[in-house]
Chains A and B, each alone.
Chain A
Amino acid sequence: AQSVTQLGSHVSVSEGALVLLRCNYSSSVPPYLFWYVQYPNQGLQLLLKYTSAATLVKGINGFEAEFKKSETSFHLTKPSAHMSDAAEYFCAVSSLNDMRFGAGTRLTVKP
């Protein structure tokens, strides 16, 4: 069985500060990994995905994530937070035709 753990249900950063949202996964086979963002009253939107090509994946809105097999991690980062980044972020792992989502991390950006 595969699973995802997102460390920290709430993360708060100041505008302009580094954003780091943590995701660790468990999978018995090489996984595919995704980060989705959910704005209030909207559907989930794909930020980026890892599908066994480059381990450093760049996504939309300046986000990127690095797949580290040795650490079973796929942390999401952004060098400088904007107010518009405030949202809920979900990490997901997919393998063997099964996708599992983490519980989500709510990002708050302070002015």
Chain B
Amino acid sequence: GAGVSQTPSNKVTEKGKYVELRCDPISGHTALYWYRQSLGQGPEFLIYFQGTGAADDSGLPNDRFFAVRPEGSVSTLKIQRTERGDSAVYLCASSLGSGRSTDTQYFGPGTRLTVL
């Protein structure tokens, strides 16, 4: 596709369950980012991939959160033992990877996660 896609668009789960959120970046983009956006807030950085490796995971809030990008394209954000506080919109973005500070990031529409 032409843009970044994310699936599912909405996910409702129960407290304590495991969820996976998927991101399909723009073809050819080597950099991929995950953000979390809570209501009334701007995106908050979670993790950054350059290729297959997580170059910066300093934004992951705790060890319940994990992300992978095994082939350097699609990425999956995994959340274990979900809590109500995890409810948010999870955004994925990709960029060419030429320079993290200056790259234009292209965002997907997000996955709205609701933990009951």
Q: Which residue of B lies closest to A94 (CB)?
A: B101
Number of interface residues of A (CB under 8 A): 26
Whether A32 contacts B41 by the Cβ 8 Å rule is: no
State which of A4, A43, A95 has its C-beta within 8 Å of the C-beta of B107.
A43
**Interface residues on chain B, size class:** 20 to 34
Question: In the bound complex, do residue A104 and residue B4 qualify as a contact, i.e. CB atoms below 8 Å apart?
Answer: no
Are A51 and B109 closer than 8 Å at their CB atoms?
no
A17 to B3, CA, bound (A): 33
- Which one of A43, A95, A99 lies within 8 Å of B4 (CB-CB)? A43
A103-B101 in contact (CB<8A): no
In terms of DSSP, what is the predominant structure of the interface of chain B? loop
* B99 nearest CB across to chain A (Å): 9
Query: CA of A49 to CA of B105 in the docked complex: distance in angstroms?
Result: 11
A74 adjacent to chain B (CB < 8 Å): no
Does B65 interact with chain A (Cβ within 8 Å)?
no
Query: With a CB–CB cut-off of 8 A, which chain B residues contact A25?
Result: none
Residue pair A9, B107 in contact (C-beta under 8 Å): no
The answer to whether A96 touches B91 (Cβ under 8 A) is no
- Asked if B85 lies at the interface with its beta carbon under 8 angstroms from chain A, I say no
**Alpha-carbon separation in the docked complex, A4 to B42 (Å):** 10
A105 to chain B, nearest CB (A): 10
Known: A32-B101, A49-B104. A43 touches B41 (CB 8 A): no
Contact A103 B42 (CB under 8 A): yes
Determine the chain A residues whose CB is within 8 A of the CB of B105 once the complex forms: 44, 46, 99
Report how far A94 CA is from B104 CA in the complex, Å: 11
- For residue B97, give the distance in angstroms from its CB to the closest CB of chain A: 12
Interface residues in chain B, defined as those with a beta carbon under 8 Å from any beta carbon in chain A: 3-4, 40-45, 56, 91, 93, 100-102, 104-110
Q: Can you give 18 A-B contacts (C-beta < 8 A)?
A: A4-B42, A32-B101, A32-B102, A42-B109, A43-B91, A43-B107, A46-B104, A46-B105, A49-B102, A90-B43, A95-B101, A97-B56, A100-B45, A101-B42, A101-B43, A102-B42, A103-B40, A104-B41
